[in-house]
């Protein structure tokens, strides 16, 4: 699967990294030229961690998030370079996903490298585990990962749920798409029953549905439906929705915002994904509900040891929820650090500006509005620090070349000529995972 | 409100609307001229004319005349159709069946073809299928029906001879019974494949001619609402779940795109009924439209009134059905508001 071994050695060597982005570039064809929405970013997501992604509006957070699911619309988007390597897991054989000692309670175990079947070969760098490049695998393989190994929670659950389908219909789809074998097993149906297998993978055409509605075949269909209902109810119960069986029959507009987001979460976590992408999951909710939803995500994340890419405007939330934080500015990474480091010792002037905008320091409600100026035009940007023009500490070098990511202390790196000068640190200690 | 209660309430208002319509139409036709011409002949003298005036209450004030007309209608008497030389009620059912068969056939063409074309065009926006469909539907929406009908007639009947005109082959018509007046259904009841194909064969040209404009309207509406739905977040969320594009389109986007389209389909049915007049005249289809056209030309007011009453009741009914279907498709619609 792995195409260019040298570029991906980070993920291959580090067994705790589950996704690894290298020099990712996503551009949009605009009227006035190429918009470099994401312009060469690199970072890793480690197994089970919550990585926060912050930055002002328009700096490329959502585009980065969508790239993991390869959902950036092309056109107008262009995947202009780089890679996202991902190490998908599979359901644990010993506990079939419930969680046991073999799988450390996660219900997931490493998937074997298809080239060597787990023995270790050149393709997998000797680890025996499957690694895929999300930007180059075929569409069918990508679809098999979406909603299954990588899931997404959207900002506004009122818009991201289909108004015309019940909660049951919408959550069932995830199981039907990715858990056909389990549905059939739970229904006590032989996997060789073609008609029911097609039903349990939503492949049935109109005439098959009609066939399944007549008496001798109907009982099988009803068993499949009942098994599916149980799975949907269990998924909903996980998110502490009271009375899941009743909620299942509701349409999204009949639920409150908080309930809808719980439904979204239930849907996203239905298949116990390895990576959950949460793009501002609480921004559209009432303040009172926000905290509860956040706790819920945190709790489920810890129980299943799911890795989370948590996107937010709100630095105070990020501080509470995330293990590590990555600050993005104008399509570039400005700084990466553990949460503690970032708040204790912010290095990049942009990060400092953001922190200055935190509540209690004269700005409104954690929004990142206190830095003067706006994100620059991303149309065909020149080689220079993107923060030039807004930066208080600017020097001549800033407008000549891009500042490289430089490690300041372990786990903490920034891209700034003044505050993370490339000379010293980088020369003596090569940058590990930024 | 429950859908059932809503339907009941709408049905209760229906009679008032119908009475109102009948008054307006009655007054308008009478204002247009006296209906007496249809009953006269050259041999009649002044006394006989006066007799007829009295027999049909033509000298009474308009409200009284309306009262007599309404009384007749309530007892099942719509008057004498001059153009058919028979009571209106005796001729009406077979004409109605002819028109409905044509309107339904073109309605099916419009709905099936229109939704299909709109879906393909919307899903492949700005690709070649979209461009082809756009040209086809712009033509459909802008070509006048009579022109398109005559072109079809000249090409497929006069030159190629592939399709017949009229409603059926007389020999085949006589070979089976006609309990419903819908020739396709009659043929099915009689289990006669020959009669069935004959009925379909005669339907094709007029149904295409009549349905083309409606197809274009449905297709354009479907395309634009599908394009809009495809931009919605829930479509991306459906993709993020791993659904194949086929299901994203069918189960998610198309379903919601159908909601505004259904409204258009309802309006289109009124449009189709209007068109039957032209289509029936050109293709010699013995339906209500042609009957009505004859009646207008000859001042046959009993026939005109019968036709207008039918058309308005049908229109009200179609509107009701559209509202109910709309409410069913879109659970967010609160009925009665
Ligand atoms: N579909 C698109 N077409 C054209 N340009 C786009 C598209 N999507 C994103 N962009 C460009 O990419 C840039 C980054 O967008 P993105 O949505 O990732 O920002 P963000 O960081 O998520 O902002 P926000 O906090 O507002 O969600 C935008 O400024 C925009 O110019
Ligand atoms: S590189 Fe220069 S302009 Fe960029 S953040 Fe550092 S000091 Fe400011
Ligand atoms: Mg965003
Ligand atoms: Zn296990
Ligand atoms: Zn291998």
**pLDDT (tens digit per residue) in A2-22:** 333 344 444 455 668 889 999
Helix ranges restricted to H, A35-80:
61-68
- Using DSSP's 3-state secondary structure scheme, residue B292 falls into helix
Give the pLDDT mean for B185-212.
89
Say if A432 is an interface residue toward chain B (CB within 8 Å). no
CB contact under 8 A, B233 and A156: yes
Which of A46-60, B38-52, B264-278 ranks highest by mean pLDDT?
Answer: A46-60
Residue contacts between A and B (CB atoms, under 8 Å) = 74
Peptide bond into B219 cis (omega under 30): no
Q: What is the DSSP letter of A74?
A: T
Residue with tokens 């303040």: A287
Q: Quick one: chain B helix, strand, coil %, rounded to 5?
A: 75, 0, 20
pTM of the full structure? 0.79
The reported pLDDT for the residue numbered A393 is 83
Q: What angle do CA A40, A45, A48 make, to 5 degrees?
A: 170
Among A135-149, A180-194, B318-332, whose mean pLDDT is lowest?
B318-332
B10, B287, B262, B185: CA torsion to nearest 10 = 100
- Strand-pairing partners, residue A133, are A85
CB contact under 8 A, A160 and B234: yes
pLDDT at B276 over 60: yes
Q: Domain coordinates of chain B in residue numbers? A: 104-286
Measure the N-to-C terminal CA separation of chain A; round to a whole number of Å: 24
- Using DSSP's 3-state secondary structure scheme, residue B250 falls into helix
CB contact under 8 A, A69 and B232: no
Model confidence pLDDT, tens digit, residues A136-185? 889 999 999 999 999 999 988 888 999 889 999 999 999 999 988 888 88
Question: Encoding tokens for residue A143?
Answer: 């679809």
Per CB-CB distance under 8 Å, the chain B contacts of A148 are: 242
CB contact under 8 A, A147 and B240: yes
CB burial string B279-296: b at 16+ within 10 A, e below:
bbbbbebbbbbbbbbbbb
Distance, in Å, from the CA atom of A113 to the CA atom of A5, rounded to the nearest integer, reads 14
Model confidence pLDDT, tens digit, residues B139-180? 888 888 888 888 988 998 888 989 888 887 878 877 888 888
What lies within 8 Å, CB to CB, of A110 at 6+ separation is A87, A89, A90, A128, A129, A130
CB contact under 8 A, A159 and B234: yes
| Ligand 3 center to B32 CA (angstroms) | 67
Give the pLDDT mean for A325-345.
91
Q: Whose CA is nearest to atom 5 of ligand 2?
A: A416
Distance, in Å, from the CA atom of A421 to the CA atom of A408, rounded to the nearest integer, reads 9
Measured between CA atoms, the residue of chain A closest to residue B331 is A164
Measured between CA atoms, the residue of chain B closest to residue A139 is B244
Give the pLDDT mean for A374-388.
79
Max Cα distance, chain A (Å)? 81
Say if A151 is an interface residue toward chain B (CB within 8 Å). yes
* A28 CB within 6 A, ligand 1: yes
Measured between CA atoms, the residue of chain A closest to residue B326 is A164
The pocket of ion ligand 5, defined by CB under 5 A, consists of: A 113, 115-116, 121, 123-124
| Ligand 3 center to A280 CA (angstroms) | 7
What lies within 8 Å, CB to CB, of B173 at 6+ separation is B183
* A346 CB within 6 A, ligand 2: no
* A329 CB within 6 A, ligand 2: no
Say if A178 is an interface residue toward chain B (CB within 8 Å). yes
- Using DSSP's 3-state secondary structure scheme, residue A18 falls into strand
Is the CB of residue A85 less than 8 Å from the CB of residue A131?
Answer: yes
Is the CB of residue A286 less than 8 Å from the CB of residue A258?
Answer: yes
Q: What is the DSSP letter of A252?
A: G
The reported pLDDT for the residue numbered B334 is 54
The reported pLDDT for the residue numbered A284 is 79
Question: Encoding tokens for residue A300?
Answer: 């489920």
- Given ligand 1 and candidates A25, A29, A55, A60, which is best to mutate, with the most ligand atoms within 8 Å of its CB? A60
- A325: distance to nearest CA of chain B, Å? 24
CB contact under 8 A, A69 and B241: no
Distance, in Å, from the CA atom of A106 to the CA atom of A95, rounded to the nearest integer, reads 10
Give the pLDDT mean for B46-73.
81
Say if A148 is an interface residue toward chain B (CB within 8 Å). yes
Question: Encoding tokens for residue A182?
Answer: 């389990």
What lies within 8 Å, CB to CB, of B229 at 6+ separation is B235, B252, B253, B254, B256, B257
CATH (one of 1.10.3720.10, 1.20.1250.20, 3.20.20.10, 2.40.160.40) for B104-286: 1.10.3720.10
Q: CB B309: neighbour CB atoms within 10 A?
A: 17
Measured from the Cα of A55, ligand 1's closest atom is: 21
Q: How far, CA to CA in Å, does A109 sit from each of A30, A112, A130, B190? A: 43, 9, 11, 67
Ligand having the closest approach to the CA of A103: 4
Average pLDDT, chain B: 84
Q: CB A21: neighbour CB atoms within 10 A?
A: 25
- A95: distance to nearest CA of chain B, Å? 24
Residue with tokens 């995500």: A297
Measured between CA atoms, the residue of chain A closest to residue B234 is A160
Distance, in Å, from the CA atom of A88 to the CA atom of A150, rounded to the nearest integer, reads 8
Is the CB of residue A240 less than 8 Å from the CB of residue A296?
Answer: yes
CB contact under 8 A, A163 and B233: no
Question: Encoding tokens for residue B126?
Answer: 């700005």
Measure the N-to-C terminal CA separation of chain B; round to a whole number of Å: 10
Peptide bond into A76 cis (omega under 30): yes
Q: Whose CA is nearest to atom 17 of ligand 1?
A: A62
If you count them, how many residues does chain A have?
434
Distance, in Å, from the CA atom of B230 to the CA atom of A256, rounded to the nearest integer, reads 25
Say if A173 is an interface residue toward chain B (CB within 8 Å). yes
The reported pLDDT for the residue numbered B106 is 92
Q: ipTM for the complex? A: 0.86
| Ligand 4 center to A306 CA (angstroms) | 14
Per CB-CB distance under 8 Å, the chain A contacts of B255 are: 162, 164-165
Q: What angle do CA A48, B243, A105 make, to 5 degrees?
A: 25
A85 sits in which H/E element:
strand A77-86
Closest CB to B242 among A148, A164, A165? A148
Confidence band of B306 (pLDDT split at 50, 70, 90): confident
Per CB-CB distance under 8 Å, the chain B contacts of A161 are: 234, 237
């Amino acid at each position: 699967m792995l195409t260019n071994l040298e570029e991906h050695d980070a993920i291959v060597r580090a067994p705790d990294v589950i996704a690894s982005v290298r020099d990712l570039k996503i551009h949009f064809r605009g009227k006035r030229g190429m918009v470099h929405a994401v312009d060469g970013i690199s970072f890793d997501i480690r197994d089970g961690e919550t990585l926060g992604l912050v930055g002002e509006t328009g700096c490329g957070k959502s585009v980065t998030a969508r790239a993991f699911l390869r959902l950036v619309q092309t056109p107008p988007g262009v995947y202009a370079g780089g890679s996202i390597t991902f190490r998908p897991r599979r359901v644990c054989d010993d506990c079939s996903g419930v969680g046991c000692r073999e799988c450390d309670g996660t219900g997931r175990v490493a998937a074997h490298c298809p080239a060597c079947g787990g023995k270790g070969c050149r393709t997998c760098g000797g680890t025996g585990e499957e690694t895929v490049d999300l930007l180059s695998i075929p569409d069918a393989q990508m679809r098999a990962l979406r909603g299954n190994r990588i899931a997404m929670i959207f900002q506004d659950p009122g818009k991201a749920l289909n108004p015309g389908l019940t909660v049951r219909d919408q959550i069932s789809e995830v199981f039907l798409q990715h858990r056909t074998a389990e549905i059939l097993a739970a229904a006590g149906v032989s996997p060789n029953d073609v008609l029911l297998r097609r039903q349990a993978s939503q492949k049935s055409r109109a005439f098959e549905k009609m066939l399944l509605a007549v008496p001798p075949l109907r009982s099988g269909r009803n068993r499949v439906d009942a098994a599916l209902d149980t799975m949907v109810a269990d998924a909903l119960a996980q998110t502490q929705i009271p009375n899941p069986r009743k909620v299942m029959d509701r349409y999204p507009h009949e639920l409150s915002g908080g309930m809808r987001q719980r439904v979204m979460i239930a849907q996203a976590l239905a298949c116990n994904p390895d990576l959950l992408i949460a793009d501002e999951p609480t921004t559209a909710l009432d303040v009172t509900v926000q905290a509860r939803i956040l706790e819920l995500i945190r709790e489920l994340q810890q129980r299943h040891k799911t890795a989370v890419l948590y996107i937010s405007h709100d630095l105070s939330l990020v501080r509470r929820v995330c293990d590590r934080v990555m600050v993005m500015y104008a399509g570039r990474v400005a700084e990466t650090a553990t949460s503690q480091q970032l708040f204790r010792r912010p290095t990049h002037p942009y990060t400092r500006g953001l922190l200055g905008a935190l509540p209690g320091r004269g700005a409104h409600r954690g929004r990142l509005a206190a830095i003067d100026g706006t994100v620059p035009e991303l149309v065909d940007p020149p080689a220079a620090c993107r923060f030039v023009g807004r930066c208080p500490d600017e020097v001549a070098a800033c407008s000549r070349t891009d500042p490289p990511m430089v490690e300041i202390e372990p786990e903490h790196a920034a891209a700034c000529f003044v505050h993370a000068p490339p000379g010293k640190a980088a020369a003596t200690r090569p940058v590990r995972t930024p | 409100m429950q859908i059932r209660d809503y339907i009941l309430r709408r049905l209760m208002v229906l009679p008032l609307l119908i009475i109102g319509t009948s008054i307006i139409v009655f007054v308008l036709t009478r204002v247009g001229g006296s209906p007496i011409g249809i009953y006269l002949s050259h041999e009649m003298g002044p006394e006989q004319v006066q007799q007829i005036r009295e027999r049909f209450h033509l000298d009474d004030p308009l409200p009284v005349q309306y009262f007599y007309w309404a009384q007749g209608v309530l007892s099942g008497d719509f008057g004498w159709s001059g153009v058919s030389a028979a009571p209106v009620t005796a001729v009406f059912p077979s004409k109605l069946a002819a028109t409905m068969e044509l309107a339904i056939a073109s309605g099916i063409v419009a709905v099936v073809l229109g939704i299909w074309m709109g879906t393909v065009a919307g899903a492949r926006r700005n690709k070649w299928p979209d461009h082809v469909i756009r040209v086809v539907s712009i033509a459909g929406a802008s070509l006048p029906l009579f022109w398109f009908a005559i072109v079809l007639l000249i090409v497929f009947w006069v030159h190629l001879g592939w399709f017949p005109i009229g409603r059926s082959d007389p020999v085949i018509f006589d070979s089976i019974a006609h309990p419903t007046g819908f020739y396709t259904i009659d043929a099915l009841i009689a289990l006669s494949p020959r009669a069935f194909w004959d009925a379909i064969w005669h339907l094709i040209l007029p149904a295409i001619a009549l349905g083309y404009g409606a197809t274009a309207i449905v297709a354009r509406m479907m395309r634009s609402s599908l394009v809009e739905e495809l931009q919605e977040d829930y479509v991306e969320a459906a993709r993020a779940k791993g659904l194949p594009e086929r299901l994203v389109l069918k189960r998610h986007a198309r379903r919601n795109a159908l909601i505004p389209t259904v409204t258009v389909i309802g309006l289109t049915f009124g449009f189709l009924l209007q068109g039957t007049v032209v289509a029936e005249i050109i293709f010699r289809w013995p339906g209500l439209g042609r009957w009505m056209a004859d009646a207008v030309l000859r001042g046959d007011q009993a026939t005109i009134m019968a036709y207008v009453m039918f058309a308005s009741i049908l229109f009200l009914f179609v509107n009701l059905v559209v509202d109910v279907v709309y409410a069913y498709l879109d659970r967010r619609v609160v009925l009665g508001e």
